[in-house]
Chains A and B, each alone.
Chain A
Amino acid sequence: MIPEKRKQEQLKPLPKSPTGISGLDEVTGGGLPKGRPSLVAGGPGCGKTLFAMEYLVNGAMEYDEPGVFVAFEETAEELAQNVASLGFDLKELIKQKKLIIEYVKVDRSEIEEAGEYDLEGLFIRLGYAIDSIGAKRVALDTVEFLFAALPNHAILRAELQRLFRWLKAKGVSAVITAERGTGTITRFGLEEYVADCVITLDHRVSEQVSTRRLHIVKYRGSLHGTNEYPFIIGKEGISVLPITSLGLEHHAPLGRVSTGIEGLDDMLGGRGFYRGSSILITGTAGTGKTSLASAFVDAACRRGDRCLYFAFEESTSQIQRNMRSIGIDLTPHVKKGLLQYHSARPTLYGIEMHLVHIYDLVKEHKPDIVVLDPITDFFAIGSSAEVKAAITRIIDFLKTNQVTALFNKANTEEDTVDYSNVDISSLIDAWISLRVLERNGERQRGLFILKARGMAHSNQIRSLHLTDDGIKVAEMNPTAHRTEPDPVRQAL
């Protein structure tokens, strides 16, 4: 029996109803189950109402599926106001008969129970609304409100079950929102009645930074991502950030790009980095990370490449001023529109928000090169695993778009061995380590290549010179080599 059933499911994939919510349709393989109810559970302020509303608005605007929004908590007027900031014009949709907001007001204080009843009134109203615009989607937000208004929970439960079956029989795709319970997914255990698809939304604050997460608890008859996906509520509504690196399918370009420094290009087989690769530059404070990044960007812009530079510690004018002091003038590139700077403190908002910000700007500016300088402070706003997941997403996203990515990361003095970066090193294609070497009574900047996937590269430690007219990478003083053991080699 069971294999037979399985076969049928394989033959007939579950039809999906696209949510139009950025990222969600990817992790659900196309959307919510078509013609069935889905449950969206979450605590207060987690975005349930917005989720339901976006599902209906997108349905009405993009998929030609009119919708009925049954609001138990907010009036049509309030709802329209709340989503107006996201660019949803509910009044216009209502006028075009693509949306109906049915405000169901239940006031405990004016209701007396006297005998047997059912909720046929709700069915009739919903049915009337559905039929009057040919609705294909329905949202109920939030049915728990009824539990507060109607004391007879036995009747209510039976009627809600009947309602969900009725919605299914009507063939509408429904989103039912519910309050999060303790120990159960929803406060009144509604997940028992809505068996097809259950999604939870969550809003956590950790280290004073808030993160929202979406989790598909259950999706009968469909493959779905089982992870918790961060999501944000931005100016265009909900965006879910899927971990796309589940599939390593990006195309690897063969082209190379110059590092902007002749001596460094030499160390990398004479031709620089691979285009579309991910590059990490690590080093303690003042070793020249930003200078290397700027040289790379300068060379790119001279070729006519487009660059996007995210500065997380310095203002853009400060970077430009400082780079001029070593003979790199970036201002003309900015003026030409080839180079765009964006400065923001990492702690300004959650890592997801940064991600979306980066995604949006990359889509808008279409750069060849993206610099994140430095990513160090991200490790302060999220756990190491979260940051790694976020950086994985960025790398992945950029690779898919064949953008070369350069990350700077500061080491503390104690990290004599660079393997403290082991958490993200596996994601990186080329890794340059900078450090200050003290020898013969002077401090000298040293540079070596920790790894460079897919190319012959130098094993030497070379010296890095930041001069008035540019950056030079040269061989170490051979005499110093002979007279003194190399502290870096020793440390390694």
Chain B
Amino acid sequence: MEKTKRDIHHQRLKKTWELRLYVAGQTPKSIAAFANLKEICEEHLAGEYHIEIIDLLKEPQLAADDQILAIPTLVRKLPEPLRKIIGDLSNTERVLVGLNLREK
């Protein structure tokens, strides 16, 4: 997962979309969530996003800061306001609503 993280970690850091995906190890749900997220971002936010993946098994102390309860959780840090989308992100419509890319 670290490798893929670096893959998409390209130079467009200054772009507006800062996303953080919380997972707990490489579970099927985590893998699916990442794949789904990448696909959605490529389609809707190509070149304008940055995804950071936090594995809570490795860094459990980070769970409290973003008030993480469910796994996987996608946190939209930027643009504000902060939004959270929980689940494997298989429901694209809901993800887009959650990211505010589509009207409810």
CB closest chain-B residue, reference A132 = B61
Binary contact track A91-128/B, C-beta < 8 Å → 1, others 0:
00000000000101110001111111111111011011
Question: Which residues on B sit within 8 Å (CB–CB) of A128?
Answer: 60-61, 63
Question: Which residues on B sit within 8 Å (CB–CB) of A133?
Answer: none
| Minimum Cβ distance to chain A for residue B56 (Å) | 5
Residue contact B60 to A124, C-beta cutoff 8 Å? yes
What are 14 residue pairs bridging A and B, where the CB atoms are less than 8 Å apart in the complex? A102-B64, A111-B84, A113-B86, A114-B85, A114-B86, A114-B98, A115-B88, A116-B29, A116-B87, A124-B24, A125-B60, A128-B60, A146-B69, A150-B70
Residue contact B83 to A118, C-beta cutoff 8 Å? no
**Distance, CA A111 to CA B32, complexed state (A):** 19
Question: Which residues on A sit within 8 Å (CB–CB) of B72?
Answer: 117
Residue contact B71 to A110, C-beta cutoff 8 Å? no
Residue contact B33 to A115, C-beta cutoff 8 Å? yes
Residues of A bordering B, CB below 8 Å: 102, 104-106, 110-122, 124-125, 127-128, 146, 150
Binary contact track B61-99/A, C-beta < 8 Å → 1, others 0:
101100111111100000001111111111110110110
Question: Which residues on A sit within 8 Å (CB–CB) of B90?
Answer: 114-116
| Minimum Cβ distance to chain B for residue A142 (Å) | 15
The DSSP consensus for interface residues of chain A is: mixed
Residue contact A125 to B63, C-beta cutoff 8 Å? yes
Residue contact A112 to B98, C-beta cutoff 8 Å? yes
From B29, B71, B91, A119 is in contact (CB under 8 Å) with B71
Question: Which residues on B sit within 8 Å (CB–CB) of A121?
Answer: 22, 24, 56, 63, 68-71, 73
Residue contact A105 to B67, C-beta cutoff 8 Å? yes
**Distance, CA A163 to CA B36, complexed state (A):** 28
CB closest chain-B residue, reference A156 = B70
Q: Does B46 contact A (CB under 8 A)?
A: no
From A102, A112, A120, B71 is in contact (CB under 8 Å) with A120
| Minimum Cβ distance to chain B for residue A167 (Å) | 16
Query: Beyond A110-B81, A111-B84, A114-B86, is A119–B70 a contact (Cβ under 8 Å)?
Result: yes
Question: Which residues on A sit within 8 Å (CB–CB) of B32?
Answer: 115
**Distance, CA A106 to CA B67, complexed state (A):** 7
| Minimum Cβ distance to chain B for residue A362 (Å) | 47
Residue contact A117 to B84, C-beta cutoff 8 Å? no
